[in-house]
Copies of this chain bind each other. A is one copy, B any other.
């Protein structure tokens, strides 16, 4: 598929100006852009700038309220419950993660839970924030229903990613993964590229395996009434499907049940209503267990032992979590970020909508090859 390479600066400038154009303050637009750009840098393209058009749609239909401010509705020294009032997920989540950090620094550990928010980008942005402060970070979110749990043929749970980060040298342990076998964004990428899905990734409305990305996306978008993506572990308990289902449950319980918010199956799809997304942020100060420097050294040794383990294939290196993402970020900062032509078309479309000069960000672009309909579907 055709793609164009842009520098980080180009994408950052466009994103910031676009979100400012949507009505966010300069500071807010910068904050949202930072979350999206980290995803692009880390190679999680499904959660990067290609998602901008979806955020815009959410703003347009009133699901994301540009002026909403997060509100602390319940609080103890170790906890807080935040009502996001249907604001932009990234802004609510930065607020919540900062609160968790502050509380953890005061009392040792803290758990901040959020209801009535929207899509917050990558869960790992917030654990990175927490980890950058020298703390252990955990974050999770629910989402629209997309996960078909063991023995069901209907999605109740969300993709429910869990992220965990802990300081180490030369780089932290940084884990961020959907509890589905793959995230919905992966299906969108496969759909854009017209590639078939792997077996045991998804089922259709009858509960049978389905490798057609478009069909599964229709299932998820509620046009079919059943079907969706399987949990990690696939469809059978023999291979651990109940474990992926369980980890997805843990996510849902940590964010939606603790916050009194909407579980994934109750996320609203009504015009003018927020999605109802819930998040959780946990920060733990390693000092509550002794000397943080000693703990960091201990973890650093262990991570190196894992990377140094005997390889299944001498040519294939062993990674610890977060390492690939840092390499990707280094490379992309240096060489730029490939954006597929359909996404470029969408971004130019947003420029047109906002009255921004697209050539100032993207130059003159030949949009031939952009997926039919993508360009015209959103704005005439």
> A residues touching B (Cβ–Cβ < 8 Å)?
74, 76-79, 81, 107-109, 111, 113, 136, 148-154, 156-157, 164, 166, 173, 175, 177, 179, 181-182, 198, 200, 203, 207, 226, 232-234, 238-240, 242-247, 249-250, 252-253, 256-260, 263, 265, 284, 286, 288-290, 294-295, 298-299, 302, 305-306, 309-313, 316-321
On whether the beta carbons of B250 and A108 are closer than 8 Å, the reply is: no
Quick check: B298 and A151 within 8 Å, CB to CB?
Answer: no
Q: Which residue of B lies closest to A208 (CB)?
A: B312
Report how far A154 CA is from B306 CA in the complex, Å: 9
CA distance A41 to B288 in the complex (A): 37
Q: Are A239 and B250 in contact (CB under 8 A)?
A: no
| Best-surrounded residue of A148, A173, A226 (most CB of chain B within 10 A) | A173
B299 and A257 contacting across the interface, CB-CB below 8 Å:
yes
15 contacts between A and B (CB under 8 A): A77-B108, A79-B289, A111-B284, A113-B289, A136-B258, A151-B317, A154-B309, A207-B311, A232-B232, A232-B244, A234-B239, A243-B244, A245-B321, A247-B247, A252-B302
Q: Is the interface of A mostly helix, strand, loop or mixed?
A: mixed
When all copies of this chain in the complex are counted, the total is 2
| Contact partners of A246 in chain B: CB under 8 A | 164, 175, 177, 321
A287 shortest CB reach to chain B, Å: 8
Q: How far is the CA of A107 from the CA of B226 in the complex (A)?
A: 44
- List B contacts of A288 (CB < 8 A): 76, 78-79, 111
Contacting pair A150 B318 (CB below 8 A): yes
Bound-state CA distance A151–B113 (Å) is: 36
| In contact, A177 and B239 (Cβ under 8 angstroms) | no
- Assess the A318–B152 pair: CB atoms within 8 A: yes
Contact in complex: A153, B311 (CB < 8 Å): yes
Q: A225 CB to closest chain B CB, in angstroms?
A: 8
Residues of B close to A249: CB separation below 8 A: 164, 173, 175, 320-321
Nearest-CB residue, chain B, relative to A236 = B198
Nearest chain B residue, comparing its CB with the CB of A161: B243
Question: Are A265 and B305 in touch, CB under 8 angstroms?
Answer: yes
CB neighbours (8 Å) of A295 from chain B are: 257-258, 260
What separation, in Å, do the CA atoms of A200 and B233 have in the docked complex? 11
The chain B residue sitting closest to A233, CB to CB, is: B232
Residues of B near A109 (CB, < 8 A) are 78-79, 109, 111
In the assembled complex, the Cα of A252 lies from the Cα of B149 at a distance in Å of 27
Bound complex: CA of A227 vs CA of B259, how far in Å? 43
Residues of B within 8 A of A239 (CB): 181, 198, 200, 232, 234
B234 to A149, Cβ gap below 8 A? no
Distance in Å: Cβ of A239 to nearest Cβ of chain B: 6
Q: Are A77 and B107 within 8 A (Cβ)?
A: yes
CB distance from A48 to the nearest CB of B (A): 20
A145 to chain B, nearest CB (A): 10
Q: Which residues of B contact A247 (CB under 8 A)?
A: 247
Q: How far apart are the CA atoms of A290 and B113 in the complex, in Å?
A: 11
CB distance from A33 to the nearest CB of B (A): 27
Cα distance A168–B244 in the bound complex, in angstroms: 21
B319 touches A76 (CB 8 A): no
Q: Which of B76, B226, B311 contacts A152 (CB 8 A)?
A: B311
Contact B311 A286 (CB under 8 A): no
